[in-house]
Structure 1
Amino acid sequence: MTQTLDAAKAAAAGRSASGAAFDRVLDVVERRRAEFDEKRHVPRDVIEEFKNAGIYRASTPKQFGGDALPPAEFLRLIERIAVVDGSAGWVASFGSSLIYLAALPSQTQAELYADGPDLVFAGGLFPVRPAERVPGGHRVSGRWKFASGCLGADVLGVGIKGGEAKGGRPLTAVLRPEQVEIVENWNVIGMRGTGSHDLVVDGAVVPDEWTFVRGGEPTVDEPLYRYPSVPYAAQVLAVVGLGVARAALDHVIAQGGRASYTGAPVPAERATYRIAVGQAEAQLRSARAYFYETTEEVWATVTAGDPASARQTSSLRLASAHLAKISFEVVRAAYQLGGIAAIADGNPMERYLRDASVVPQHAFLQEGMYDGAGAVLMGVQPFPGYL
């Protein structure tokens, strides 16, 4: 096993998420984004491009040949992909999800990464289902929703009830694709290319060592796995909205000189257009600055060897929900500035509006997060599950 891991590390040398391979990802996504919408998923050969660029080793522990990137570094990569296409950014964002797998036993992780650190994990964790206890594990059956990127995954997770032994906390059961049926039912308006289909499992036995508590105590002693994992899961999605908003705002800025259908002055000559663009630019950059400032602050804490405080964890959640909200508002303002042309199929504005509308709908990013953050700021107990 050690020899296999060493070989994988050697083969992986120098393939971090930067440089020519990442530039190629951006080019491929730009050329094929319409295909993602049509197929309702990002095809496997594109996932391979993501792997080649290091996206799916970004949260693999260094001890298994991964990069374990600082969160801000990974978030900026996802932001850049999302500028080109929101669905591709969303699927790539799950390059962060291996932080959850760090709660698996070390031997299980060694088996997972035996063929290399570039591992795609996708999960349909809700609704949490009961599972039959069997010797050494669980017999798992049920149907789970919203498994983004599942058609390109190397391993899949589903949510099961943990029982008293885990303090009532739900578990994620890790399965191989051949143990899972994917029901292709992702019929939606926005983020069509994410392939967030249902997962069905029929009586698969999952050993205890292949289950973990999401956000549970990691068995890997590296800084990334001390960073708050559930807030990080919200961050990687919120930053997709940021990328989409940046693209939408850049589009209406570039369109400032376009001729009007009615013969009216070009948009850049109208005060209302200029004011709206200026306000949107300030709003988006402000939310982005708060988002990354909070990320860097918490990262500095955990790399110094200290745990993130409750207030810091809450700040990550607040900054993410706020970024998702502001990003959607910016896209909506940009869409209105786009005028009648924005409603046409094929106009980029209609895609930006559809995709941006999905981000603040996610459970991690809804406006209830403001309630939790306000509670922490004022020293009262937030709603269950917030921290």
Structure 2
Amino acid sequence: MTMLGTPAATIDDPTVDTSAHVVDEMLAAVVPVLRNCTADGEAQRRLPDYAAAALVEAGAFQVQVPKSLGGLELNPLQATRLVEEISKVDPSAGFLVGNMNSQAFAMMALSADGVEEVFADSKAVICGGAFPPARAVEVPGGYLVSGRAPFASGAHIATWVTAYAMLFEGDQPKMTPHGPVMLLAAMAREDCELVDNWNVLGLRGTGSHDYAYHEVFVPHTRVAPLTLGEPNRYFSGPLYRSRLWSGHPAFAATALGVARASLDEATSLVRTKKGNFMMEVLGDSPSIQRQLGKAEARYRASRAYLYDTVDQLWQHQLTGEFVNTEHGISMQLAACYVIETAREISEIVHEIAGSTGFQESSPLEKYFRDAHTISQHAFASQTRYESAAKAMLGKQNDWLFFQL
């Protein structure tokens, strides 16, 4: 409602956040395509080309790229919603949208010249694996980078591959009082070798194969120390004050999408299915009703927790400040809790569904596998609760995100 005499704001008004409108249009473009790609993604162990093309064309992989570089620079609440909604339809696609945007986000460490080269193509897509670290040797004009990293999600889609490399001098890593010198390098995909080895339980459509690289020359402009100093001028907006915590809500949102899809399928199932040798439909059973109600409550609570945490960080970023350790603790705990809860929901639904739940003809079988696979992700596995607690207690932390 507007004040009398005050014109209503339009989506062209620079004072209005139009990201919800952008996400709605993007979803309208890609969801119909993704509804038909899941089986192909499972069989191919990668996102099918037609689905990847739809996401690229819609700008789904430019969500966290600065507007000054041709990206969308969406606020994190809407970016999280985008990942969740896509994950309801195809969890692998949602995972890729979240993960590959985090890779683009990491480009803020490079020089301005470096990111200009990476994003010269407005449809640039970035993948990469972090560990084990690669080996980097400085040479005139840049570095030679060698290594092999697993979990390069979206390997077939990428135009650029990132590597986290340890700087060597001779046969030994170069050391500082805080440990070895770590670098981030961005390499052209054609300079790297894709190793086809993504044979897994769930999230098969992510195509998270290994990438290998042997003495790939990377110029200084596309290599940067792995620190969280001041980002280059293109990444000066409030979105980039979350440091490297941008990936956590994306992975949690993928889990939320899986949980929602599982619950919707189970709710539909119990309305019509009768248990073996039983006369009543499952939905008339008090025990099924209790399980379904509890699962729904857990989903709603975890969703509210995630979005509230993302909003708290975002409101802090809007003040002009970077997120701090306390914010990191909040984000880590929320991500762990949401992903853990999504796995538990998949187990409740599996019990509700009975024999239907383990048949490949039912989407519940895939949701169960996807929920359990994402629960092992390093960003939010059970051991990350320990990392957050160490930060709470002020103890030395082995989790990189609390060290930067």
User: TM-score, normalization: structure 1?
Assistant: 0.91
User: How high is the sequence identity, in percent, across the aligned residues?
Assistant: 30
Matched residue, 2:220: 208
Q: Which residue of the other structure, out of 237, 262, 266, is the alignment partner of 1:252?
A: 266
Residue deviations 1:76-134 (CA, integer Å, cap 9, x gap): 10000111111111112122321100111011112222232x32100022110222221
Q: Give distance in 1, aligned partners of 2:316 and 2:68.
A: 22
Q: Give distance in 1, aligned partners of 2:346 and 2:290.
A: 15
Secondary structure, counterpart of 1:338 in structure 2: helix
Q: Which residue of the other structure, out of 208, 211, 235, is the alignment partner of 1:196?
A: 208
Task: Give the C-alpha shift of residue 309 in structure 1.
Answer: 2.5
Q: Are 1:108 and 2:122 matched, yes or no?
A: no
Given that 1:25 and 1:53 are in contact with CA atoms closer than 8 Å, whether structure 2 keeps it comes out as yes
Distance of aligned partners of 1:169 and 1:269 in 2 relative to their CA distance in 1, 3 Å threshold: farther
The CA RMSD over aligned residues, in Å, is: 2.1
Q: Which residue of the other structure, out of 114, 131, 139, is the alignment partner of 1:134?
A: 139
Given that 1:16 and 1:53 are in contact with CA atoms closer than 8 Å, whether structure 2 keeps it comes out as no
The 5-angstrom pairing of residues 155-166 of structure 1 reads: 155-162=160-167, 163-164=174-175
Task: Give the C-alpha shift of residue 140 in structure 1.
Answer: 1.6
Task: Give the C-alpha shift of residue 15 in structure 1.
Answer: 12
Distance of aligned partners of 1:42 and 1:135 in 2 relative to their CA distance in 1, 3 Å threshold: same
Matched residue, 2:286: 271
Matched residue, 1:179: 191
Secondary structure, counterpart of 2:218 in structure 1: strand
Distance of aligned partners of 1:42 and 1:214 in 2 relative to their CA distance in 1, 3 Å threshold: farther
Q: Are 1:82 and 2:87 matched, yes or no?
A: yes
Matched residue, 1:320: 335
Q: Are 1:122 and 2:127 matched, yes or no?
A: yes
Instruction: Name the amino acid aligned to 2:80.
Output: L
Q: Give distance in 2, aligned partners of 1:379 and 1:361.
A: 26
Task: Give the C-alpha shift of residue 141 in structure 1.
Answer: 1.9
Secondary structure, counterpart of 2:64 in structure 1: coil
Secondary structure, counterpart of 2:65 in structure 1: coil
Residue deviations 1:119-173 (CA, integer Å, cap 9, x gap): 2100022110222221232212222111010110011112210344896242222
Distance of aligned partners of 1:252 and 1:75 in 2 relative to their CA distance in 1, 3 Å threshold: same
Distance of aligned partners of 1:27 and 1:228 in 2 relative to their CA distance in 1, 3 Å threshold: same
Instruction: Name the amino acid aligned to 1:205.
Output: F
Given that 2:27 and 2:86 are in contact with CA atoms closer than 8 Å, whether structure 1 keeps it comes out as no
Residue deviations 1:349-374 (CA, integer Å, cap 9, x gap): 11000011011101111112222323
Give the length in aligned residue pairs: 373
Instruction: Name the amino acid aligned to 1:103.
Output: A
Q: Which moved more, 1:349-358 or 1:376-385?
A: 376-385
Matched residue, 1:96: 102
Matched residue, 2:252: 238
Q: Which residue of the other structure, out of 331, 342, 355, is the alignment partner of 2:346?
A: 331
Given that 2:103 and 2:128 are in contact with CA atoms closer than 8 Å, whether structure 1 keeps it comes out as no
Matched residue, 1:152: 157
Q: Give distance in 2, aligned partners of 1:52 and 1:259.
A: 41
More helix by share: 1
Q: Which moved more, 1:139-148 or 1:124-133?
A: 124-133
Q: Give distance in 1, aligned partners of 2:394 and 2:146.
A: 41
Task: Give the C-alpha shift of residue 24 in structure 1.
Answer: 2.6
Instruction: Name the amino acid aligned to 1:371.
Output: E
Distance of aligned partners of 1:68 and 1:214 in 2 relative to their CA distance in 1, 3 Å threshold: farther
Instruction: Name the amino acid aligned to 2:360.
Output: D
User: TM-score, normalization: structure 2?
Assistant: 0.87
Distance of aligned partners of 1:244 and 1:15 in 2 relative to their CA distance in 1, 3 Å threshold: closer
Given that 2:37 and 2:51 are in contact with CA atoms closer than 8 Å, whether structure 1 keeps it comes out as no
Instruction: Name the amino acid aligned to 2:27.
Output: F
Q: Are 1:358 and 2:364 matched, yes or no?
A: no
Distance of aligned partners of 1:375 and 1:200 in 2 relative to their CA distance in 1, 3 Å threshold: closer
Q: Are 1:36 and 2:41 matched, yes or no?
A: yes
Distance of aligned partners of 1:168 and 1:178 in 2 relative to their CA distance in 1, 3 Å threshold: same
Q: Structure 1 regions of 5+ residues with no counterpart?
A: 1-13
Q: Which moved more, 1:32-41 or 1:51-60?
A: 51-60
Task: Give the C-alpha shift of residue 44 in structure 1.
Answer: 3.3
Given that 2:133 and 2:147 are in contact with CA atoms closer than 8 Å, whether structure 1 keeps it comes out as no
Secondary structure, counterpart of 1:251 in structure 2: helix
Residue deviations 1:271-314 (CA, integer Å, cap 9, x gap): 10000011111111111111110110111111111222211111
Q: Give distance in 2, aligned partners of 1:59 and 1:271.
A: 46
